Amino acid sequence: MEHTNSNVPRLLLAADRSSAGKTTIATGLMSVLSKEGHTVQPFKVGLDYIDTSYHSEVTGRFSRNLDGYLMDRHAIIETFYHAMRGADIGIIEGVRGLYEGLESLSDVGSTAQIAKMLNCPVILIIDARSITRSTAALVKGYSSFDRRIDIRGVILNKIGSLTHAAKAKKAIEHYTGIEVIGQIPRKDSMHLTMRHLGLVPASEGLKRDGNFRKQLDNIEDAIQSIDVDKVLQIAKSAGKLPRVKPKVFVSSKAGVGNKKRVHIGVACDEAFNFYYRDLFDLFSLNGTKTIPFSPLHDKEIPEVDGLYIGGGYPEIFADELERNSSMRDSIASHAQADLPVFAECGGLMYLTESLTYDGRSSKMVGVIPANADMANKRVIGYVAGTTVCNNILGQKGTKFRGHEFHYSELTGLGNKPQFAFQLQKGTGISDGRDGVQVGQTLASFTHFHPLSYPNLAANFARSCAKFTDRTAHSKRSP
Protein backbone atom coordinates (compact mmCIF):
# COMPACT_ATOMS: atom_id res chain seq x y z
CA MET A 1 0.00 0.00 0.00
CA GLU A 2 1.34 3.44 -0.91
CA HIS A 3 2.35 5.71 1.95
CA THR A 4 0.20 8.83 2.44
CA ASN A 5 1.33 10.73 5.56
CA SER A 6 3.67 13.23 3.93
CA ASN A 7 3.44 15.77 6.78
CA VAL A 8 5.02 13.60 9.47
CA PRO A 9 6.88 15.72 12.08
CA ARG A 10 10.62 15.19 11.82
CA LEU A 11 13.95 16.85 12.47
CA LEU A 12 17.61 16.10 12.07
CA LEU A 13 20.28 16.62 14.75
CA ALA A 14 23.54 17.51 13.00
CA ALA A 15 26.87 18.78 14.30
CA ASP A 16 29.79 20.91 13.28
CA ARG A 17 32.22 17.98 13.70
CA SER A 18 32.68 14.48 15.04
CA SER A 19 32.61 14.07 18.83
CA ALA A 20 30.51 17.19 19.25
CA GLY A 21 27.99 15.24 21.34
CA LYS A 22 25.37 14.15 18.79
CA THR A 23 24.69 10.71 20.27
CA THR A 24 24.42 11.82 23.89
CA ILE A 25 22.15 14.75 23.01
CA ALA A 26 20.06 12.71 20.55
CA THR A 27 19.65 9.90 23.10
CA GLY A 28 18.71 12.31 25.88
CA LEU A 29 16.23 14.19 23.71
CA MET A 30 14.63 10.97 22.47
CA SER A 31 14.30 9.81 26.08
CA VAL A 32 12.66 13.06 27.23
CA LEU A 33 10.21 13.09 24.34
CA SER A 34 9.33 9.42 24.91
CA LYS A 35 8.66 10.01 28.60
CA GLU A 36 6.43 12.95 27.69
CA GLY A 37 4.21 10.51 25.80
CA HIS A 38 5.50 10.91 22.25
CA THR A 39 6.08 7.85 20.12
CA VAL A 40 9.56 8.63 18.84
CA GLN A 41 11.00 6.84 15.82
CA PRO A 42 14.80 7.12 15.85
CA PHE A 43 17.13 7.15 12.85
CA LYS A 44 20.89 7.35 12.33
CA VAL A 45 22.64 8.73 9.26
CA GLY A 46 25.36 6.34 8.10
CA LEU A 47 26.12 2.74 8.94
CA ASP A 48 26.54 2.85 12.69
CA TYR A 49 25.31 -0.13 14.70
CA ILE A 50 26.17 1.21 18.15
CA ASP A 51 24.59 4.67 18.31
CA THR A 52 21.33 3.10 17.15
CA SER A 53 21.38 0.75 20.15
CA TYR A 54 21.09 3.77 22.46
CA HIS A 55 18.23 5.19 20.42
CA SER A 56 16.36 1.90 20.58
CA GLU A 57 16.90 1.51 24.30
CA VAL A 58 15.35 4.85 25.27
CA THR A 59 12.51 4.88 22.73
CA GLY A 60 11.50 1.23 22.68
CA ARG A 61 11.56 1.31 18.86
CA PHE A 62 14.24 -0.04 16.57
CA SER A 63 16.41 2.73 15.18
CA ARG A 64 16.93 2.71 11.41
CA ASN A 65 20.00 3.65 9.36
CA LEU A 66 19.83 6.01 6.38
CA ASP A 67 22.85 6.15 4.08
CA GLY A 68 22.97 8.13 0.86
CA TYR A 69 25.79 6.08 -0.67
CA LEU A 70 24.27 2.66 -0.11
CA MET A 71 20.65 3.71 -0.61
CA ASP A 72 19.09 5.76 -3.40
CA ARG A 73 16.57 8.52 -2.78
CA HIS A 74 13.57 6.21 -3.20
CA ALA A 75 15.01 3.74 -0.70
CA ILE A 76 15.73 6.49 1.85
CA ILE A 77 12.18 7.83 1.63
CA GLU A 78 10.60 4.37 1.65
CA THR A 79 12.65 3.31 4.68
CA PHE A 80 11.62 6.47 6.51
CA TYR A 81 7.92 5.92 5.84
CA HIS A 82 8.20 2.23 6.71
CA ALA A 83 9.85 2.95 10.05
CA MET A 84 7.47 5.79 10.96
CA ARG A 85 4.40 3.55 11.11
CA GLY A 86 2.80 4.12 14.52
CA ALA A 87 5.17 6.98 15.45
CA ASP A 88 4.28 10.66 15.81
CA ILE A 89 7.77 12.18 15.47
CA GLY A 90 10.98 11.16 13.71
CA ILE A 91 14.36 12.14 15.21
CA ILE A 92 17.40 11.61 12.98
CA GLU A 93 20.92 11.69 14.39
CA GLY A 94 23.50 12.79 11.83
CA VAL A 95 27.00 11.47 11.24
CA ARG A 96 30.28 13.35 11.64
CA GLY A 97 30.05 17.02 10.62
CA LEU A 98 26.94 18.14 8.75
CA TYR A 99 28.64 18.26 5.34
CA GLU A 100 31.14 15.38 5.72
CA GLY A 101 30.58 12.67 3.13
CA LEU A 102 32.30 10.42 0.66
CA GLU A 103 33.71 13.17 -1.57
CA SER A 104 35.08 16.70 -1.30
CA LEU A 105 32.78 18.31 -3.85
CA SER A 106 29.47 16.49 -3.30
CA ASP A 107 27.28 15.62 -0.34
CA VAL A 108 26.99 11.89 -1.14
CA GLY A 109 26.98 9.91 2.11
CA SER A 110 26.56 13.01 4.27
CA THR A 111 24.04 14.18 6.83
CA ALA A 112 23.22 17.12 4.55
CA GLN A 113 22.24 14.73 1.75
CA ILE A 114 19.69 13.01 4.02
CA ALA A 115 18.31 16.36 5.22
CA LYS A 116 17.59 17.33 1.62
CA MET A 117 16.16 13.96 0.61
CA LEU A 118 13.73 14.03 3.52
CA ASN A 119 13.00 17.79 3.33
CA CYS A 120 13.94 17.90 6.99
CA PRO A 121 14.71 20.89 9.27
CA VAL A 122 18.07 20.75 11.05
CA ILE A 123 19.13 21.54 14.60
CA LEU A 124 22.88 22.18 14.63
CA ILE A 125 24.93 21.03 17.63
CA ILE A 126 28.05 23.14 18.18
CA ASP A 127 31.04 22.03 20.23
CA ALA A 128 31.42 25.36 22.02
CA ARG A 129 34.33 24.47 24.25
CA SER A 130 36.59 27.54 24.58
CA ILE A 131 34.76 29.65 21.97
CA THR A 132 32.03 32.29 22.27
CA ARG A 133 31.75 34.84 19.44
CA SER A 134 33.33 32.33 17.06
CA THR A 135 30.25 30.13 17.47
CA ALA A 136 28.38 32.72 15.41
CA ALA A 137 30.92 32.40 12.62
CA LEU A 138 30.50 28.63 12.65
CA VAL A 139 26.71 28.81 12.51
CA LYS A 140 26.79 31.50 9.81
CA GLY A 141 29.17 29.44 7.69
CA TYR A 142 27.17 26.22 8.08
CA SER A 143 23.86 27.92 7.30
CA SER A 144 25.16 29.72 4.18
CA PHE A 145 27.29 26.87 2.79
CA ASP A 146 24.24 25.16 1.26
CA ARG A 147 21.06 27.22 1.25
CA ARG A 148 18.98 24.07 0.73
CA ILE A 149 19.82 23.04 4.31
CA ASP A 150 17.26 24.54 6.68
CA ILE A 151 19.03 25.12 10.02
CA ARG A 152 16.25 26.10 12.40
CA GLY A 153 17.96 25.99 15.78
CA VAL A 154 21.30 25.62 17.57
CA ILE A 155 22.30 23.58 20.62
CA LEU A 156 25.53 24.67 22.31
CA ASN A 157 27.38 21.74 23.88
CA LYS A 158 30.29 21.63 26.34
CA ILE A 159 29.48 25.03 27.83
CA GLY A 160 31.79 26.04 30.67
CA SER A 161 29.67 28.63 32.51
CA LEU A 162 26.52 30.73 32.38
CA THR A 163 28.60 33.67 31.11
CA HIS A 164 30.06 31.50 28.36
CA ALA A 165 26.56 30.42 27.33
CA ALA A 166 25.14 33.93 27.35
CA LYS A 167 27.93 35.35 25.17
CA ALA A 168 27.72 32.58 22.58
CA LYS A 169 23.91 32.70 22.46
CA LYS A 170 23.89 36.48 22.01
CA ALA A 171 26.48 36.31 19.20
CA ILE A 172 24.71 33.53 17.29
CA GLU A 173 21.26 35.09 17.44
CA HIS A 174 22.58 38.57 16.57
CA TYR A 175 24.71 37.58 13.58
CA THR A 176 22.65 34.72 12.14
CA GLY A 177 19.05 35.16 13.30
CA ILE A 178 18.98 31.47 14.27
CA GLU A 179 17.71 30.75 17.76
CA VAL A 180 19.80 28.93 20.38
CA ILE A 181 17.40 26.39 21.87
CA GLY A 182 19.72 24.61 24.30
CA GLN A 183 22.98 25.01 26.21
CA ILE A 184 24.51 21.81 27.57
CA PRO A 185 27.07 22.11 30.39
CA ARG A 186 30.47 20.49 30.15
CA LYS A 187 30.15 17.42 32.40
CA ASP A 188 31.94 14.10 32.69
CA SER A 189 28.53 12.45 33.08
CA MET A 190 27.82 13.27 29.43
CA HIS A 191 30.66 11.00 28.27
CA LEU A 192 29.59 7.52 27.19
CA THR A 193 32.05 4.63 27.48
CA MET A 194 34.22 4.18 24.40
CA ARG A 195 36.38 1.41 22.93
CA HIS A 196 38.23 0.82 19.65
CA LEU A 197 35.16 0.71 17.35
CA GLY A 198 33.28 3.47 19.15
CA LEU A 199 30.76 3.45 22.01
CA VAL A 200 30.07 0.32 24.03
CA PRO A 201 26.76 -1.09 22.68
CA ALA A 202 23.77 -0.38 24.91
CA SER A 203 22.86 -4.08 25.19
CA GLU A 204 26.30 -4.86 26.61
CA GLY A 205 26.32 -1.86 28.92
CA LEU A 206 22.95 -2.77 30.40
CA LYS A 207 24.05 -6.35 31.12
CA ARG A 208 27.60 -5.76 32.34
CA ASP A 209 27.83 -2.22 33.71
CA GLY A 210 25.95 -1.55 36.93
CA ASN A 211 26.19 2.20 36.37
CA PHE A 212 24.97 2.17 32.77
CA ARG A 213 21.33 2.97 33.51
CA LYS A 214 22.40 5.81 35.79
CA GLN A 215 24.59 7.12 32.98
CA LEU A 216 21.57 7.30 30.67
CA ASP A 217 19.61 9.10 33.39
CA ASN A 218 22.47 11.59 33.83
CA ILE A 219 22.38 12.35 30.11
CA GLU A 220 18.64 12.99 30.28
CA ASP A 221 19.16 15.34 33.23
CA ALA A 222 21.96 17.21 31.46
CA ILE A 223 19.83 18.14 28.45
CA GLN A 224 17.03 19.74 30.49
CA SER A 225 18.14 23.14 29.18
CA ILE A 226 16.90 22.23 25.69
CA ASP A 227 13.59 23.89 24.85
CA VAL A 228 11.55 20.77 24.05
CA ASP A 229 8.55 22.81 22.95
CA LYS A 230 10.77 24.54 20.40
CA VAL A 231 12.09 21.15 19.25
CA LEU A 232 8.53 19.97 18.64
CA GLN A 233 7.68 23.20 16.84
CA ILE A 234 10.66 22.75 14.51
CA ALA A 235 9.75 19.11 13.85
CA LYS A 236 6.16 20.04 13.00
CA SER A 237 7.36 22.71 10.57
CA ALA A 238 8.97 20.10 8.29
CA GLY A 239 7.89 20.42 4.67
CA LYS A 240 6.00 17.76 2.79
CA LEU A 241 7.79 14.50 2.16
CA PRO A 242 7.48 13.08 -1.37
CA ARG A 243 5.19 10.07 -1.63
CA VAL A 244 6.70 6.87 -2.96
CA LYS A 245 5.25 3.55 -3.93
CA PRO A 246 6.78 0.79 -1.79
CA LYS A 247 8.96 -1.61 -3.73
CA VAL A 248 11.21 -3.03 -1.01
CA PHE A 249 9.06 -3.38 2.11
CA VAL A 250 6.30 -5.38 0.47
CA SER A 251 5.06 -8.87 1.21
CA SER A 252 6.24 -11.61 -1.12
CA LYS A 253 3.31 -13.80 -2.16
CA ALA A 254 5.73 -16.38 -3.48
CA GLY A 255 7.62 -16.61 -0.20
CA VAL A 256 10.80 -18.65 -0.45
CA GLY A 257 9.38 -21.51 -2.43
CA ASN A 258 8.87 -24.26 0.14
CA LYS A 259 5.87 -25.39 2.17
CA LYS A 260 7.61 -25.23 5.54
CA ARG A 261 8.27 -21.82 7.07
CA VAL A 262 11.99 -21.13 7.13
CA HIS A 263 13.60 -20.49 10.52
CA ILE A 264 16.95 -18.66 10.70
CA GLY A 265 18.95 -18.59 13.91
CA VAL A 266 20.50 -15.17 14.63
CA ALA A 267 23.44 -14.81 17.02
CA CYS A 268 22.39 -12.08 19.43
CA ASP A 269 24.11 -11.25 22.71
CA GLU A 270 26.83 -8.99 24.11
CA ALA A 271 29.39 -10.33 21.62
CA PHE A 272 27.22 -10.23 18.47
CA ASN A 273 24.72 -7.41 18.02
CA PHE A 274 25.61 -5.53 14.82
CA TYR A 275 22.45 -5.91 12.75
CA TYR A 276 20.24 -3.71 10.60
CA ARG A 277 16.61 -4.03 11.62
CA ASP A 278 15.49 -3.63 8.01
CA LEU A 279 16.94 -7.04 7.20
CA PHE A 280 14.71 -8.72 9.79
CA ASP A 281 11.70 -6.92 8.37
CA LEU A 282 12.54 -8.27 4.93
CA PHE A 283 13.01 -11.78 6.32
CA SER A 284 9.55 -11.53 7.84
CA LEU A 285 8.00 -10.20 4.63
CA ASN A 286 9.43 -13.25 2.85
CA GLY A 287 7.76 -15.59 5.35
CA THR A 288 10.96 -16.25 7.29
CA LYS A 289 11.13 -16.35 11.08
CA THR A 290 14.31 -15.33 12.90
CA ILE A 291 15.18 -17.03 16.18
CA PRO A 292 17.78 -15.37 18.45
CA PHE A 293 20.43 -17.46 20.18
CA SER A 294 23.52 -16.65 22.20
CA PRO A 295 26.99 -18.02 21.34
CA LEU A 296 28.02 -16.83 24.81
CA HIS A 297 25.26 -18.29 26.98
CA ASP A 298 23.41 -21.06 25.10
CA LYS A 299 24.70 -24.61 24.88
CA GLU A 300 23.82 -25.23 21.24
CA ILE A 301 22.04 -23.63 18.31
CA PRO A 302 18.24 -23.86 18.11
CA GLU A 303 16.50 -26.08 15.55
CA VAL A 304 16.80 -23.87 12.46
CA ASP A 305 17.30 -24.01 8.71
CA GLY A 306 20.23 -21.57 8.63
CA LEU A 307 22.41 -19.30 10.76
CA TYR A 308 23.18 -15.60 10.60
CA ILE A 309 26.12 -14.47 12.77
CA GLY A 310 26.53 -10.71 12.59
CA GLY A 311 29.28 -8.40 13.69
CA GLY A 312 30.17 -7.30 17.18
CA TYR A 313 33.03 -7.69 19.63
CA PRO A 314 34.06 -11.36 19.75
CA GLU A 315 37.58 -10.26 20.72
CA ILE A 316 36.30 -8.73 23.97
CA PHE A 317 34.50 -11.98 24.86
CA ALA A 318 37.01 -14.42 23.35
CA ASP A 319 37.59 -16.30 26.62
CA GLU A 320 33.88 -16.83 27.18
CA LEU A 321 33.34 -17.89 23.57
CA GLU A 322 36.18 -20.39 23.88
CA ARG A 323 34.82 -21.81 27.14
CA ASN A 324 31.43 -22.45 25.54
CA SER A 325 32.76 -25.45 23.61
CA SER A 326 29.34 -27.10 23.21
CA MET A 327 28.10 -24.09 21.22
CA ARG A 328 31.24 -24.05 19.08
CA ASP A 329 30.85 -27.77 18.40
CA SER A 330 27.16 -27.33 17.61
CA ILE A 331 27.84 -24.64 15.00
CA ALA A 332 30.77 -26.57 13.51
CA SER A 333 28.87 -29.83 13.15
CA HIS A 334 25.88 -28.15 11.50
CA ALA A 335 28.09 -26.15 9.15
CA GLN A 336 29.90 -29.34 8.15
CA ALA A 337 26.49 -30.84 7.37
CA ASP A 338 25.96 -27.92 4.94
CA LEU A 339 23.55 -25.89 7.05
CA PRO A 340 23.70 -22.44 5.37
CA VAL A 341 25.71 -20.06 7.56
CA PHE A 342 26.12 -16.36 6.77
CA ALA A 343 28.61 -14.38 8.89
CA GLU A 344 29.76 -10.77 8.84
CA CYS A 345 33.03 -9.42 10.30
CA GLY A 346 32.78 -10.42 13.98
CA GLY A 347 30.90 -13.51 12.84
CA LEU A 348 33.73 -14.29 10.42
CA MET A 349 36.25 -13.98 13.26
CA TYR A 350 34.19 -16.36 15.40
CA LEU A 351 34.08 -18.99 12.65
CA THR A 352 37.89 -19.14 12.31
CA GLU A 353 40.13 -21.61 14.12
CA SER A 354 41.44 -19.08 16.62
CA LEU A 355 41.20 -15.42 17.59
CA THR A 356 44.26 -13.58 18.90
CA TYR A 357 43.71 -10.44 20.94
CA ASP A 358 45.90 -8.63 23.46
CA GLY A 359 48.53 -11.37 23.31
CA ARG A 360 46.15 -14.26 23.94
CA SER A 361 44.89 -16.80 21.42
CA SER A 362 41.45 -18.35 21.97
CA LYS A 363 39.87 -21.28 20.16
CA MET A 364 36.93 -20.44 17.94
CA VAL A 365 34.49 -22.55 15.88
CA GLY A 366 37.00 -23.77 13.29
CA VAL A 367 34.82 -23.74 10.16
CA ILE A 368 37.03 -21.23 8.36
CA PRO A 369 40.62 -22.57 8.02
CA ALA A 370 42.35 -19.40 9.19
CA ASN A 371 43.19 -17.39 12.27
CA ALA A 372 41.74 -13.99 13.18
CA ASP A 373 44.33 -11.57 14.54
CA MET A 374 43.58 -8.14 15.96
CA ALA A 375 45.97 -5.81 14.11
CA ASN A 376 46.93 -2.19 14.66
CA LYS A 377 45.68 -1.21 11.23
CA ARG A 378 42.11 0.09 11.13
CA VAL A 379 40.07 -0.75 8.02
CA ILE A 380 37.07 1.53 7.57
CA GLY A 381 35.07 2.65 4.56
CA TYR A 382 32.50 1.82 1.93
CA VAL A 383 32.65 -1.33 -0.17
CA ALA A 384 31.46 -1.94 -3.71
CA GLY A 385 31.75 -5.33 -5.35
CA THR A 386 30.42 -8.13 -7.51
CA THR A 387 29.69 -11.76 -6.75
CA VAL A 388 32.03 -14.01 -8.75
CA CYS A 389 30.14 -17.27 -8.21
CA ASN A 390 26.74 -18.53 -7.14
CA ASN A 391 26.48 -18.53 -3.35
CA ILE A 392 23.97 -18.62 -0.52
CA LEU A 393 23.30 -14.88 -0.89
CA GLY A 394 22.73 -14.75 -4.62
CA GLN A 395 23.80 -15.47 -8.17
CA LYS A 396 27.08 -14.78 -9.91
CA GLY A 397 27.30 -11.25 -11.30
CA THR A 398 25.22 -9.57 -8.58
CA LYS A 399 26.50 -6.08 -7.78
CA PHE A 400 26.36 -4.80 -4.23
CA ARG A 401 27.52 -2.08 -1.88
CA GLY A 402 28.42 -2.37 1.78
CA HIS A 403 30.93 -1.20 4.35
CA GLU A 404 33.76 -2.51 6.51
CA PHE A 405 35.01 -1.39 9.92
CA HIS A 406 37.50 -3.56 11.79
CA TYR A 407 40.97 -3.89 13.24
CA SER A 408 41.28 -7.60 12.52
CA GLU A 409 42.83 -9.58 9.69
CA LEU A 410 42.88 -13.23 8.67
CA THR A 411 46.17 -15.11 8.70
CA GLY A 412 47.08 -18.64 7.67
CA LEU A 413 44.22 -18.96 5.20
CA GLY A 414 44.65 -22.29 3.44
CA ASN A 415 45.68 -22.88 -0.15
CA LYS A 416 43.42 -21.46 -2.84
CA PRO A 417 40.49 -20.35 -0.66
CA GLN A 418 37.23 -19.84 -2.49
CA PHE A 419 35.96 -16.27 -2.43
CA ALA A 420 32.45 -15.19 -3.40
CA PHE A 421 33.13 -11.46 -3.82
CA GLN A 422 35.50 -9.33 -5.83
CA LEU A 423 35.64 -5.78 -4.52
CA GLN A 424 36.07 -2.80 -6.80
CA LYS A 425 36.15 -0.58 -3.71
CA GLY A 426 37.29 -1.70 -0.27
CA THR A 427 39.85 -4.05 1.31
CA GLY A 428 38.08 -7.34 2.05
CA ILE A 429 39.93 -10.39 3.32
CA SER A 430 42.76 -10.55 0.80
CA ASP A 431 43.70 -8.39 -2.21
CA GLY A 432 40.18 -7.05 -2.69
CA ARG A 433 38.61 -10.47 -2.38
CA ASP A 434 36.01 -11.13 0.28
CA GLY A 435 33.35 -13.63 1.26
CA VAL A 436 35.34 -16.79 1.95
CA GLN A 437 33.29 -19.94 1.35
CA VAL A 438 33.50 -23.37 2.95
CA GLY A 439 30.64 -25.63 1.89
CA GLN A 440 27.45 -23.64 2.54
CA THR A 441 29.19 -21.24 4.90
CA LEU A 442 29.89 -17.71 3.64
CA ALA A 443 31.78 -15.24 5.82
CA SER A 444 33.04 -11.76 4.98
CA PHE A 445 34.51 -8.61 6.46
CA THR A 446 31.92 -6.70 4.43
CA HIS A 447 28.77 -5.66 6.28
CA PHE A 448 25.66 -5.54 4.12
CA HIS A 449 22.64 -3.33 4.34
CA PRO A 450 19.62 -5.08 2.77
CA LEU A 451 18.74 -2.10 0.59
CA SER A 452 22.20 -2.10 -0.99
CA TYR A 453 22.40 -5.83 -1.78
CA PRO A 454 19.46 -6.80 -4.01
CA ASN A 455 17.32 -9.62 -2.61
CA LEU A 456 19.83 -10.59 0.10
CA ALA A 457 17.15 -11.61 2.59
CA ALA A 458 15.09 -13.56 0.03
CA ASN A 459 18.15 -15.28 -1.45
CA PHE A 460 19.48 -16.42 1.91
CA ALA A 461 16.04 -17.62 2.95
CA ARG A 462 15.80 -19.65 -0.29
CA SER A 463 19.18 -21.23 0.41
CA CYS A 464 17.93 -22.22 3.86
CA ALA A 465 14.72 -23.62 2.35
CA LYS A 466 16.75 -25.74 -0.09
CA PHE A 467 18.75 -27.14 2.80
CA THR A 468 15.53 -28.07 4.59
CA ASP A 469 14.12 -29.69 1.46
CA ARG A 470 17.31 -31.71 0.90
CA THR A 471 17.38 -32.82 4.50
CA ALA A 472 13.73 -33.88 4.43
CA HIS A 473 14.29 -35.76 1.17
CA SER A 474 17.31 -37.63 2.52
CA LYS A 475 15.33 -38.71 5.58
CA ARG A 476 12.57 -40.10 3.36
CA SER A 477 14.96 -41.93 1.03
CA PRO A 478 15.59 -45.62 1.83
Active site residues: 345
Encode 345-368: b = buried (16+ Cβ within 10 Å), e = exposed. Answer: bbbbbbbbbbbbbeeeebebbbbb
Say how far apart CA 83 and CA 55 lie, in whole Å.
14
Please report how the helices 22-35 and 212-222 are oriented relative to each other, as an axis angle in degrees rounded to 10.
Answer: 90
Q: How far is CA 437 from CA 264, 364, 370, in A?
A: 19, 17, 12
Amino acid at 80: F
Map the chain to HEC letters: CCCCCCCCCEEEEEECCCCCCHHHHHHHHHHHHHHCCCCEEEEEECCCCHHHHHHHHHHCCCCEEECCCCCCHHHHHHHHHHHCCCCCEEEEECCCCCCCCCCCCCCCCCHHHHHHHCCCCEEEEEECCCCCCHHHHHHHHHHHHCCCCCEEEEEEEEECCHHHHHHHHHHHHHHHCCCEEEEEECCHHHCCCEECCEECCHHHHHHHCCCHHHHHHHHHHHCCCCCHHHHHHHHHCCCCCCCCCCCCCCCCCCCCCCCCCEEEEEECCCCEEECCHHHHHHHHHCCEEEEEECCCCCCCCCCCCEEEECEECCCCCHHHHHHCHHHHHHHHHHHHCCCCEEEECHHHHHHEEEEEECCEEEECCCCEEEEEEEEEEEEEEEEEEEECCCECCECCCCEEEEEEEEEEEEECCCCCCEEEEEEEECCCCECCEEEEEECCEEEECCEECCCCCCCHHHHHHHHHHHHHHHHHHHHHCC
- Other Cβ atoms within 10 Å of 433 Cβ, number: 19
User: Burial of 16 by CB count in 10 Å (0-12 exposed, 13-18 middle, 19+ buried)?
Assistant: buried
What values do phi and psi take at 126, rounded to 5?
Answer: -110, 130
Please report how the helices 22-35 and 50-59 are oriented relative to each other, as an axis angle in degrees rounded to 10.
Answer: 20
